[in-house]
Amino acid sequence: MALYYNSNNVPQSNNVYHNSNANNKVYHNNNLVWQKQKTIYPGVPVANTQNLGYAAYFTVTNTGSHIKVDAFGGTERGYGRVMLGGFSTIGYSKLFFANLRAYITNSFSHIKVALGDINGNVVQQLIYSEANGFDATYTAANVFNINSANGNYYLILEVESGATHLGKNAIIEMNGCYLI
């Protein structure tokens, strides 16, 4: 949500002050017109990486502003997950991504993006597919409701690619994750 005050744009990453108090939300005529966003990624570190398949067929590349989780189906199964966090959702009820792309080129694969705990247990699944040829990009226009807004979570990025001699992949790439 864009907020303009005296012809100046107030980014969602800034604070809005009223009577010297910082506010997370701004209402006009009882309608929410602006809400501060909380950056999850980039920001929170990789808390845990679990390689659940053959080590050579699961990779994670993290530049700090772009993360890529890749499972490559070779002679063995590529399978693993990355947990980003932890972070609190207290005061927030929605989540969105900046250019999260998930795609599968192998019919023996899956991708999963979820909120969970440090052990990889899913609390709320956000994105899941097993479809060969699945290719979707999620942006700020794709807003996900958080079922339990008062939780402490990790963002789980999980990929699996079954064993195949064709070298197929299951990949998740992301530039950002934000709470609103």
Helices (H), the chain: none
Please check whether residues 83 and 162 belong to one and the same domain: yes
| 162 close to 154: Cβ distance less than 8 angstroms | no
Round the average pLDDT of the chain to a whole number and report it. 86
Please check whether residues 61 and 150 belong to one and the same domain: yes
Give residue-wise pLDDT tens across range 48-57: 999 988 888 9
Please check whether residues 65 and 151 belong to one and the same domain: yes
Q: What is the domain extent for residue 54?
A: 40-179
Bridge partners (DSSP) listed for residue 111: 129, 159
Please check whether residues 26 and 98 belong to one and the same domain: no
Residue that wins the pLDDT comparison between 126 and 91: 126
Please check whether residues 45 and 97 belong to one and the same domain: yes
Instruction: Outline where DSSP puts E strands in 52-93.
Output: 58-62, 67-73, 78-88
Please check whether residues 51 and 117 belong to one and the same domain: yes
Total count of residues recorded for the chain: 180
How many structural domains compose the chain? 2
Please check whether residues 52 and 13 belong to one and the same domain: no
Closest CA to 153 of 81, 96, 88: 88
What are the structure tokens assigned to 53, written together?
Answer: 């398949």
Give residue-wise pLDDT tens across range 134-159: 999 999 999 999 987 678 999 999 99
Please check whether residues 69 and 102 belong to one and the same domain: yes
What Å distances lie between residue 10 and 15, 17, 32, 45, 112, CA to CA? 8, 11, 15, 27, 34
Question: pTM for this structure?
Answer: 0.83
CATH code, 49: 2.60.120
Please check whether residues 115 and 27 belong to one and the same domain: no
